[in-house]
Structure formats: structure tokens, C-alpha cells
Amino acid sequence: MFLIVGLGNPGREYAKTRHNAGFLFVEKLAQDWKLGWTTEKKFSSRVAKTERSGRKFILSQPQTFMNLSGEAVQSLAGYFRLAPQKILLVVDDADLPFGEIRLRANGSSGGHHGLESVEKHLGTRDFPRLRIGIGRRVDGVRQITNHVLGQFGNDETELLGKILTRAAEQVECWASEGIAKAMSRFNGVVNKEEKRN
């Protein structure tokens, strides 16, 4: 069984913001896999479940707000008795340029409050995380709150779709062939001109 958690903030005002790249990703995966969502209060999450090629998958959108994401992840992991290596966190990353994705088997939170919360509640950093680059403002301003909580621009929408498609392929590869193959095959920059099957 695999748990794929997209981190974000619940509520209409956050729906299409850069900080909700994780939410957007699991929504894309659920759409591709033709899944419906249910709200599971005991997990403080929206959840979608499926079985593909003999593997069980749970998709989750914690409804706790970003900084408390670990509460939802811990409850799901505990209930389904999942090893940390079977839990994939999908998050936005302002330190990666928009258009780049990076899967890692473990690592630091990099200052991402959602990852910090999950590390604290699981008591480990040894869980895979897929970072979706959202970049920083080009004017060099360090304060990025408005950028992170801003919506993707119309000029970014087409590339965002290709990024989410590449990330979905990477996750399928991770589940079927392991993290090393998924990292070597899919990590990197998604080009606007890129056409993928």
C-alpha cells in the first residue's frame, strides 16, 4: 500500500495558489485515475482510494492547514500501518525554479512548514518527498509570502499542466520500479515544448 499526500491549505481562497501545488498534484492524479474524493474526519483529510496493478493507493489532502499537516499524515500512517518509505509527500518548493521537479528518498524540510510538521509527527525524515518548483519572484525580494500564496498566472498554466503530468508519471514509476529509477528518469526541468506519452 502507498500513501500519496499532497500538501496545501483547504479553502477556496487557497485553491489555485502556488503553495497548493501538492493539492493540485493529487487532484490531477485522482482525475487521471478516475477517482472520487471523500472527507474522512478521523484522518482530517480528503481521501481517494484505488488499486492499480495489484498495488493499493491512498491519495490524501490534509484539511489541517499546511503547518499542521503532520497530524493528518500521522493518523493515516498509523491506521494503515505504513512504513515511512511508503508515504510520499508532494510539496511546493520556492527554491526550485518553476518547471523543475525533484524526488528524493529523504532529506531536510528545507524550511517548508508542512514537511517540518510531518517530520515531527512521524519522528523521521526517512520518507520520500516530491518537490514541485514554484520559483521566487524575479525582483529579488526575499519576502515571498505573497508570491507563494498567489495564484499561478495564465502564462504559467500550460507549463503547470505538463509539470503535473511528468510528476504523475514519476509517481507511477516510483510505485512500480522504485525510487532510484523514478529519480533518474524524471527529476529535472520540464520544458514548455515537451511532449510526453
C-alpha to C-alpha distance for 60 and 21, rounded to whole angstroms: 13
Give phi and psi for 158, each to the nearest 5: -65, -45
What is the side-by-side strand order in the sheet with 2-6? 38-40, 45-52, 55-62, 2-6, 87-93, 129-133, 100-104, 188-189
C-alpha to C-alpha distance for 103 and 90, rounded to whole angstroms: 9
C-alpha to C-alpha distance for 131 and 134, rounded to whole angstroms: 9
Give phi and psi for 111, each to the nearest 5: 85, 5
- Cβ–Cβ under 8 Å, residues 45 and 76: yes
Give phi and psi for 118, each to the nearest 5: -65, -45
**CA 54, 102, 69, 85 torsion-angle sign:** positive
CA 96, distance to chain mean position in Å, is 14
Residue 19 is among the residues annotated as catalytic for this protein? yes
List, by residue number, the catalytic residues: 19
